[in-house]
């Protein structure tokens, strides 16, 4: 691993979300001299990867990352082929729809279909959700043993009082998830919000993503109509990607 790139990546990771940090904060987190961190931040600023607060001494993620993330999303075949089906799923269920892919120990929302009404909503594309606290994550964990190992190699943190952080308890439902083709969560990431997800397979008939509908907990559980529409959408996206069977095969842990 190249040390300079590793340190720069760690700076960007520390600034993710809405975090604004000063040089001393970054230096303490990285256990590096402030002068070293200042040099890293200066280089990142020159490329627009980090920006400085106006009139302040703290730093935040820069605009270049937005352009790069959009380029990344545009190259994802699963996202491009899923859009017509996620739009149809949102229309049929009258619920918002997420498409997520594994990203280290989290699930990255690579596409978000807003609820088809006039209510004010926040676009969630690019948001990362802890895998153990989301229906999409549970689907990916059940079907992908390599992703499961990556997620379970570190402690699972609680986001709400309902977040399942015990690995044994979390995996207990995986056989049923594989059998029924869906996984669910209720209030585990955000209070008042539940979701149910199904796997998406590619031409190798292995899981590459998960598609989910998001339901207000007060309106749950999901109806049979919502479940049928979700499974149909997952099958159709998988067919678009060349899958010949659904649900996917369980992907082995290759490490």
Instruction: Kindly tell me if the per-residue pLDDT of 17 is higher than 70.
Output: no
Q: Give the relative orientation of helices 135-143 and 145-152 as an angle to the nearest 10 degrees.
A: 120
CA distances from 79 to 125, 141, 209 (A): 11, 20, 9
Cβ 162 vs Cβ 186: under 8 Å: yes
Q: Which residue has better confidence, 58 or 197?
A: 197
Q: What is the pLDDT of residues 39-95, one digit of tens each?
A: 998 999 888 888 898 888 899 888 777 676 765 665 578 999 999 999 999 999 999
Q: What is the pLDDT of residues 222-236, one digit of tens each?
A: 999 999 999 999 999
Label residue 136 by pLDDT band (50, 70, 90). Answer: very high
State the DSSP string of 62-110: -THHHHHHHHHHHT-HHHHHHHHHHHHHHHHHTS-EEEEEEETTEEEEE
In this structure, whether the domain defined by 76-240 belongs to CATH 2.40.30.110 is answered with no
**3-63: which CATH topology?**
Arc Repressor Mutant, subunit A (1.10.10)
User: How large a percentage of the chain has pLDDT more than 90?
Assistant: 65
Mean pLDDT of the chain: 91
* Least confident piece of the model among 26-30, 53-57, 184-188, 243-247: 53-57
Cβ 243 vs Cβ 201: under 8 Å: yes
User: Where in the sequence of the chain do the CATH 3.30.450.40 domains occur?
Assistant: 76-240
Q: Provide the whole-model pTM.
A: 0.81
State the DSSP string of 123-180: --TT-EEEGGGSHHHHHHHHHBHHHHHHHHTSPPPPSSTT----HHHHHTTHHHHHHH
CB atoms within 10 A of CB 14: 15
User: Where in the sequence of the chain do the CATH 1.10.10.10 domains occur?
Assistant: 3-63
Instruction: Kindly tell me if the per-residue pLDDT of 131 is higher than 70.
Output: yes
């Amino acid at each position: 691993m190249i040390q300079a790139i590793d340190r720069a990546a760690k700076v960007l990771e520390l600034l993710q979300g809405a975090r604004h940090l000063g040089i001393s904060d970054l230096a303490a987190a990285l256990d590096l001299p402030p002068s070293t961190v200042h040099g890293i931040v200066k280089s990142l600023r020159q490329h627009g990867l980090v920006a400085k607060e106006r009139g302040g001494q703290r730093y935040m993620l820069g605009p270049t990352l937005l352009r790069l993330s959009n380029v990344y999303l545009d190259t994802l075949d699963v996202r491009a082929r899923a859009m017509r089906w996620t739009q149809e799923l949102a229309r049929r269920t009258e619920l918002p729809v997420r498409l997520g892919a594994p990203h280290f120990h989290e699930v990255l929302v690579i596409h978000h279909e807003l609820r088809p009404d006039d209510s004010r909503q926040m676009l969630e594309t690019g948001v990362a959700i802890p895998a153990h606290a989301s229906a999409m994550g549970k689907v990916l964990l059940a079907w992908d043993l390599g992703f499961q190992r990556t997620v379970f190699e570190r402690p699972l943190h609680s986001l709400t009082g309902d977040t399942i952080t015990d690995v044994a308890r979390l995996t207990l439902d995986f056989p049923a998830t594989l059998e029924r083709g869906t996984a669910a969560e209720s209030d585990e990431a955000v209070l008042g919000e539940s979701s149910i997800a199904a796997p998406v397979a590619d031409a190798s008939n292995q899981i590459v993503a998960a598609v989910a509908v998001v339901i207000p907990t007060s309106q749950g559980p999901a109806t049979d109509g919502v479940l049928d529409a979700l499974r149909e959408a997952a099958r159709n996206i998988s067919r678009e990607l060349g899958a010949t069977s659904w649900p996917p095969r369980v992907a082995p842990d290759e490490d």
